[in-house]
Amino acid sequence: MKPNDMDIDEILRRYLPRASQEEADEAGERVLKRIRAMRFSEAAKERKPGWLPKFDLAVLAAVDELQGEGTAVTITLKVEELLEERIVSGSAVFIILLLQERSGLVASSPDPNEPDAAHLQSFKITGSGRGALAAARAAEARRAGPLADFA
């Protein structure tokens, strides 16, 4: 199709996605609950910004590296690679993934062919997850100090 043949107003009117007010409100409620838990709850007060345990950080980094294609198994293998150690329990990784999903750091999608198969669902990092990962890496770099390269 040539550009002149295209009715762009019609295409925009017909195909530009639009969310209803109800959808926006429902999404807003879910997000507000997560933000309350992440930034205003008692649990949040116990954590410094950028704080993540090493293992959780590795799980988040693995999800990020697999670019939304990682399942519980491939993420576990990637965590092993990042930490350079064998992980005895893959279920530990899966539990952390579920906790990170509840905190809004990662989001999961079911496998289109087997939507009920938990081990086939894929995980991707969210904007908040990317922020937490960057903050945790910065905090780690600060702790390591200028001699980190000589370790």
Which residues contact other proteins by CB under 8 A? 1-4, 6, 8-9, 11-13, 15-19, 21, 23-25, 27-28, 30-32, 34-36, 38-40, 44-46, 48-49, 67-69, 104, 107, 109, 126-128, 131
Q: Quote the distance between the C-alpha of residue 91 and its chain's center.
A: 18
Q: Minimum distance from CB of 150 to other proteins (Å)?
A: 32
Residue closer to other proteins (CB basis): 48 or 86: 48
24 or 141: whose CB is closer to other proteins?
24
Residue 120: burial class (beta carbons within 10 Å; 0-12, 13-18, 19+): middle
Cβ closest to other proteins, residue 15 vs residue 150: 15
Q: Which two tokens stand for residue 39?
A: 């930034």
Shortest gap between Cβ of 89 and other proteins (angstroms)? Answer: 29
Largest CA distance in the chain: 63
Q: Contact 99/120 with Cβ under 8 angstroms?
A: no
In the bound state with other proteins, the residue whose beta carbon lies nearer, of 53 and 148, is: 53
Q: How far is the CB of 60 from other proteins (least distance, A)?
A: 15
Rounded distance between C-alpha atoms, residue 142 and residue 140, angstroms: 5
Provide the strand spans (E) within 2-146.
106-109, 122-125
Q: How far is the CB of 67 from other proteins (least distance, A)?
A: 5
The amino acid at residue 58 is: A
**Considering the complex, what minimum distance in angstroms separates the CB of residue 85 from other proteins?**
28
